[in-house]
Amino acid sequence: MSINFRQSADTYRISRQRMVETQLIPRGIHDKKVLEAMNRVPRHLFVDEALKNQAYSDHPLPIAEGQTISQPYIVALMTQALGLKGHERVLEIGTGSGYQAAVLAEIASRVYSVERKSALLARARRLFDQLGYKNILCKLDDGTWGWKAEAPFDAIIVTAAAPAIAPPLVEQLADPGVLVIPVGDEFSQTLTRLVKQDGETTVQELGGVRFVKLIGEHGWKS
């Protein structure tokens, strides 16, 4: 049993390395901290058992509650866009599988993650405990309101598509700070990077994406 387990672990380790070398670096993921985090986090633990053999493939995968775990490249792209150095407090809207939060936790000082579906949050919490991520705090709530009690945040990442950037998230973003969010209609969005600096905000478009809808008071109603 120990030999099989070791062989399995080696297989996944090789798959992660291949993912970084063939999917991320050639597409412009250059932040060393992001590449190291993507190479460390065991993505196969965040997907259903039947999909483990696809965990490091170049596409999103379905998870419970009609949600998805994003394509590895998109996770890396959004993380890189935050420009994390290691000291930051990061707010994540949409815990989902927990994979993005784990990648963030490998880099940031503290991650605050908000999820509206209790079953997803419960599973993610178990994984965080199993993997020893003590710097991830979670709560069940409407993420479009952010997490006011813990604000301000050095960086905010939204892992679902919004029709517009929720005002509470901009308010809870530190100055300076960076917010990354997919914005658009329910079929296609533009990955958007908002930077707050000296009381002003600037917006940069990072390309087209497709996410599940962000449900909430400041998102989609259903």
Catalytic residue annotation: 70
8 Å CB contact between 171 and 182: no
8 Å CB contact between 157 and 99: no
Q: Which helix (H) or strand (E) holds 40?
A: helix 32-40
Decide: residue 173, CB within 10 A, 0-12 exposed, 13-18 middle, 19+ buried.
buried
Distance of alpha carbon 63 from its chain centroid, rounded? 14
Torsion, CA 140, CA 129, CA 160, CA 139, rounded to 10:
20
What spatial distance separates the first Cα and last Cα of the chain, rounded to whole Å? Answer: 47
